[in-house]
Amino acid sequence: MNKNKYLIALIGLAAGFIVSFFLTSNYNKSNAGSTSNAAASPMAGAGGGAGGQQAMMGQVQQVIEKAKSNPNDFQAQVEAAKIFNQVGRMAETVEYLKKAYAIDSAKFAELKAAGFLGQYYFEQKDYPEAETWFNRAIKADPGEADLYVALAETYVQREPAEPDKAITQLEQALKVDPRNGHALGHLIEAYALKRDARGAEDALKRLKEADPGNQRISVLETLVTDLKAGKAVNIPKEQ
């Protein structure tokens, strides 16, 4: 699943907050007290030169301090999340987004950032937490098939796997988008984890009909063949 898809809301929110290329690429060093690269920055002339950059850095520090000083201010937490997202500090981005959610879950739903949080925790292999956030994302956007697929993946990847729960979510995704090759591919895997050869074979047939150019068909065919032969199931890694 592409996490960037769920950063759209954050990017849109950040559009009104002017931060230079220098600020974005050098925040971590500047925050540690290093400003020696300022003059060498390709954007050194933007925003009034070094003075302008320092002023912008000051604005950033103010945003972060405001969030810390006003823990019940929803927008302050969102603004801090935007800043950390821009400099690639995902742990802090997640921290402030979660604070915003705790303050006002209804307003948070409008950001459509729960999918981003779900994918973050999925990549950390914290599947129960990922499940929580994907469920919240689905509640906010029930017409998005990829969210059901992402939720299903949390059931496929955890140990022990929960294929029945995965199948339920994948079939829901296919109600939204019947030709979703991503969902059908994971449906084959879920049936394979159940050792249900007929279900896996039927899902493979559906995939071939719905998405004949899908690049995973050959490896999934091998998976189904091995399953039918009684061999151990090894879920192929998705590229």
Domain count, the chain: 2
* pLDDT (tens digit per residue) in 143-158: 999 999 999 999 999 9
CATH at 218 = 1.25.40.10
% of the chain residues with pLDDT over 70: 76
* pLDDT given for residue 54 in this prediction: 61
- Give the model's pLDDT for residue 66: 93
Grade residue 176 by pLDDT with cuts at 50, 70 and 90: very high
- pLDDT score at 86: 82
pTM: 0.78
Residue 125 has pLDDT above 70, yes or no: yes
- Provide the pLDDT for residue 87: 79
Residues 105 and 184 in one domain: no
pLDDT greater than 60 at residue 100: yes
Query: What is the helix (H) or strand (E) element at residue 136, kind and residue range?
Result: helix 127-140
Distance CA 140, CA 112 (A): 7
Quote the CA–CA distance of 18 and 15 in Å, as a whole number: 7
pLDDT on residue 85? 85
- The closest of 149, 111, 145 to 130, measured between CA atoms, is 149
pLDDT at position 58 is: 73
What is the extent of the structural domain holding 68?
1-32+45-113
Residue 126 lies in a domain: no
Q: For residue 38, is pLDDT > 60?
A: no
Would you state the pLDDT for residue 5?
54
Dump pLDDT digits (tens) for 51-77: 555 666 677 888 899 999 999 999 999
pLDDT of residue 88: 81
Note whether 5 and 96 are same-domain residues: yes
Does 60 reside within a domain?
A: yes
Mean pLDDT, the chain, whole residue set: 82
* Rounded average pLDDT over 190-219: 97
Determine the Cα–Cα distance for residues 112 and 7; give it in Å rounded to an integer: 8
Judged by average pLDDT, the poorest of 12-16, 117-121, 163-167 is 12-16
167 has pLDDT over 90? yes
Least confident of 35-44, 53-62, 116-125, 229-238: 35-44
The mean-pLDDT minimum among 7-16, 70-79, 96-105 falls in 7-16
Percent helix / strand / coil, the chain, rounded to 5: 70, 0, 30
Residues 85 and 156 in one domain: no
Residue 132 included in any domain: no
Q: In terms of pLDDT, which residue wins out, 19 or 177?
A: 177
Same domain, 9 and 100: yes
Residue 134 lies in a domain: no
What's the pLDDT tens digit per position in 108-117? 998 888 998 9
pLDDT at residue number 131: 97
CA distance readout (Å), 231 to 93, 156, 224: 44, 19, 10
